[in-house]
Amino acid sequence: MTTLAYLIPVALFLGALGLGGFLWALKSGQYEDLDGAAERVLIDREDKLDC
Amino acid sequence: MSCCAPGAEMALDLVNTGSVLPSTQEIRLASRSLGDDLRQTDLSVPTVHCAACIQAIETALGKLENVEDARVNLSTKRVAVRWRGNEVPPFVAALGRLGYQAHLFEADTDAKDKVLSELIRAVAVAGFAAGNIMLLSVSVWSGADGATRDLFHWVSALIAIPALAFAGGIFFKSAWNALRHGRMNMDVPIAVGVSLAYAMSLYETVTHGDHAYFDASVSLLFFLLIGRTLDHVMRERARTAVKGLSQLAARGAMVLRGDGARDYLPVGEIEPGMQLLIAAGERIPVDGKIACGTSDVDCSLVSGESTPRSVSPEDTVQAGVLNLTGPLTIEATAAAKDSFLAEMVRLMEAAEGGRAHYRRIADRVSALYAPVVHLTAFVTFVGWMAATGDWHRAMTIAIAVLIITCPCALGLAVPIVQVVAARRLFENGIMVKDGSAMERLATIDTAVFDKTGTLTLGQPRLVNAASIDPAMLEIAAGLAAHSRHPYSKAIAGLAASSSQNKFDKVTEHPGFGIEATAAGSIWRLGRRGWAGWKARTGGEGRHGYGGTVLTENGMIVASFVFEDALRVGARTAIDQLHNAGLCVEMLSGDTAKACSEVADVLGVDDFVPCLLPSGKVERIETLARDGHKVLMVGDGLNDTPALSAAHVSIAPATAADIGRNAADFVFLRESLLAVPLALDVSRKAGHLIRQNIAIAIVYNAVAVPIAILGHVTPLIAAIAMSASSLLVIGNALRLQNSRQSSPAKNVRRDRRSDITKLAQSS
């Protein structure tokens, strides 16, 4: 019983964290171009490495 | 004709592209201000398909002057360009150089899809709640009791509150709407079941009872929301794909003021009496009379006529006609709201009616189902009250009946099949506007086709190429490359590779043809009477009368015969429709001769030529009165009223905007085989839907007696509900596996070329 007293809040907190993360990602437009995101990893970035 | 000169330089920019590019004024009109001098323009680029495309486009556009940044969205095939300053950067031309056709995208329709994000958020919340409550419920089922069980129930009740308020809100709203209008839909039993289950569970929790149905009410919402979200995504995808096609109606026009000033005005602000400059390759925005200039115009979208018409001053032209060869100055005779296009919209609205009466299968089933369920629960309550007198027990069992009959499987039975079917059609380049379209398509017994642009491509094809001297054909092709007249394009396309002919001077005479000089002789390609000025029509019998000829110094050296090319797969498509037991008819605005040729080749049962738009509607209404369910396939503005009058309608992607909006299905590929495929998939889907409903009913027939006898525990309810839902989903997925082998593969291989063709032709 005592273990439950903190295990349940911990479980709920972790779940809520995931839910919050998902809602944040949704709001910041990260699900708007799923096909594009999959292809974009193939693009070489033109970073200048001469530092 | 000095007054036409201003239009000519505008035409020059367009010459090389072969299709209509939006002018800079049009782009400016369609862009939207982001404040602070920054403007955003959305372009639809249908041929973007991989990482290399993304990079090429973003780099090229980013290098243009005044362009702040450009971002490609691969899912919607769109590019958003943000730019500054007064001058519109030449991004459409830049894309053209890279080989991408770009179309302007309506700025005002670009509002973000609020419904989808609300649905996804609801799914996320419901999923979170369902997962956590199920975790606690499993502990209860596996033996937790006493204070632990009460604690778990209380925690579950707390988690369920946000899920019901947020995710359940969607169902409550819809149910309330239906009830308020005296209707019944699937959401009514869902809303009642879920809220009663929650209320009873809360009561049980307060009174330290054994059984709480928090898990049932929340996971029910979760499952149903998944189905609903998938359904929405599918339809939204089809909608944006259709929206992304090029706009065929003109957005505005260059107005010539009395003092010689030129203004680009949006269509809505054009008034009768204004002088409009129409460059070659532009569409005429409003009805008008030609004030000066001669040209050929393509009326195929407006009247269904397949051959271009030549026009000269005093001729009248309708809105939507495409100006092909020479610049024109027209005097507007009607405002946009009184033009031909607006007339079509009115006819269309008048014709809409038969379709509005159609009730979706799900609604028909739920109208029967919901009262039966509620009555069963009520009878159970009364029965147990009479038998035991224990109102708490009677209430518990009645609510258990409601929960077990809550139409989880029934709610999924229809949408899941339609989602799978729509996905299959989407993969084959067919967009479905909504699920009821498939239900309606499955019931048809007559298919009616438009001719120009639907059974045929609306583009002429040279038929006597084999009998023409190859050297002459090459000269003709060299000349034809300088014109955008459809006949010229047909000739030029035939010998595109080696046009090495050096002509000294090429001029196009709108309405007549092309003239060039080479090595001392004058070559002309065009109308017989103009090109063959030395030839006596009587003496040149070998080449026949009329038509298009190539002449050297006025003597006819070759004549060309054209025919409207049939759409790919037209013959096979009609055969397949016949095999499916349909009657096939053709309605056209074109001449009887042109119609009978096409009808013979394709094996069409019956045709009616020379029809006005209202005539097509009448014909369809006559068929409907005779008890036929009619499918209309058409593309022109003149088909639009017929498209909405028919029981269900299909349009090719090259159709006029308004036609695409009126149609239930839009197919993106060139082949007409899309029509029998859509029919086939719809019929299979209809079959699976009925199977699914049967499964749901059988499930209820088994589960309801158990519930009425009072043997249902939350565990049994959870198992029964999940099992029936999985069964229904599994059954729906069979549609995807059936016969997906050969056609899909072929089609995928040439998808890119199809899209390119589509973009070029539109």
Are B91 and B183 part of one and the same domain?
no
Contacts of B159 in chain A (CB under 8 A): 12
Q: Record the tokens describing residue B375, joined without a space.
A: 């009555």
Q: What is the pLDDT of residue B245?
A: 57
Residue B477 belongs to domain spanning: 464-560
Are B395 and B515 part of one and the same domain?
no
Is residue B650 domain-resident? no
- Cα distance from B408 to chain A (closest Cα, Å)? 25
Contacts of A33 in chain B (CB under 8 A): 73-76
Q: Please indicate whether, in this complex, the C-beta atoms of A19 and B128 are within 8 angstroms of each other.
A: yes
- Cα distance from A50 to chain B (closest Cα, Å)? 21
Is residue B189 domain-resident? yes
Summarised one tens digit per residue, pLDDT across range B644-703 is 888 899 988 777 777 777 788 888 777 889 999 999 999 999 999 889 888 888 888 888
Summarised one tens digit per residue, pLDDT across range B561-596 is 887 778 888 889 999 999 999 999 998 888 888 888
Are B525 and B400 part of one and the same domain?
no
Q: Please indicate whether, in this complex, the C-beta atoms of B151 and A35 are within 8 angstroms of each other.
A: no
Q: Please indicate whether, in this complex, the C-beta atoms of B124 and A23 are within 8 angstroms of each other.
A: yes
Regions of chain B where pLDDT drops below 70: 1-23, 105-113, 237-251, 304, 306, 341, 348-358, 407, 495-502, 534-546, 738-762
Is residue B728 domain-resident? yes
Is residue B703 domain-resident? yes
CB pairs under 8 A between A and B: 53
Are B145 and B167 part of one and the same domain?
yes
Is residue B525 domain-resident? yes
Residues of B taking part in catalysis: 450
pLDDT at position A48 over 60:
no
Is residue B78 domain-resident? yes
| End-of-domain residue from the set B517, B543, B560 | B560
List B residues 24-63 in contact with A (Cβ-Cβ < 8 A): 50-51, 54-55
CA-based nearest residue to B16, from B70, B92, B87: B92
Is residue B723 domain-resident? yes
For A23, which residue in chain B has the nearest alpha carbon?
B121
Instruction: Tell me, letter by letter, the H, E, C secondary structure of B395-413.
Output: HHHHHHHHHHHCCHHHHHH
Residues B516, A25: Cα–Cα separation, whole Å: 63
Are B159 and B234 part of one and the same domain?
yes
Q: Record the tokens describing residue B207, joined without a space.
A: 């009174």
Are B229 and B137 part of one and the same domain?
yes
Are B133 and B179 part of one and the same domain?
yes
List B residues 139-158 in contact with A (Cβ-Cβ < 8 A): 147-148, 151, 155
CA-based nearest residue to B9, from B26, B23, B27: B23
Are B71 and B120 part of one and the same domain?
no
Are B170 and B236 part of one and the same domain?
yes
Are B508 and B400 part of one and the same domain?
no
Are B92 and B127 part of one and the same domain?
no
Spell out the alpha helix ranges (H) of B323-455: 340-351, 361-388, 391-405, 408-427, 435-441
The CATH number covering residue B62 comes to 3.30.70.100
Residues B560, B547: Cα–Cα separation, whole Å: 7
| End-of-domain residue from the set B106, B124, B152 | B106
Contacts of B147 in chain A (CB under 8 A): 1
CA distance to B137, B146, B166, B469, B709, per residue, from B210 (Å): 11, 9, 27, 95, 18
The CATH number covering residue B504 comes to 3.40.1110.10
Residues B716, B287: Cα–Cα separation, whole Å: 69
Spell out the alpha helix ranges (H) of B655-713: 657-662, 674-708
Q: What is the pLDDT of residue B385?
A: 92
For B59, which residue in chain A has the nearest alpha carbon?
A46
- Cα distance from B335 to chain A (closest Cα, Å)? 40
| End-of-domain residue from the set B81, B106, B131 | B106
Are B503 and B369 part of one and the same domain?
no
Number of domains in chain B: 3
Q: How many residues comprise chain A? A: 51
Is residue B45 domain-resident? yes
Cβ–Cβ contact B161 with A under 8 A? no
- Cα distance from A51 to chain B (closest Cα, Å)? 23
List A residues 13-32 in contact with B (Cβ-Cβ < 8 A): 15-16, 18-19, 22-23, 26-27, 31-32
DSSP E strands in B199-339: the ranges are 252-256, 262-266, 275-278, 288-292, 295-298, 309-311, 316-317, 322-323, 328-332
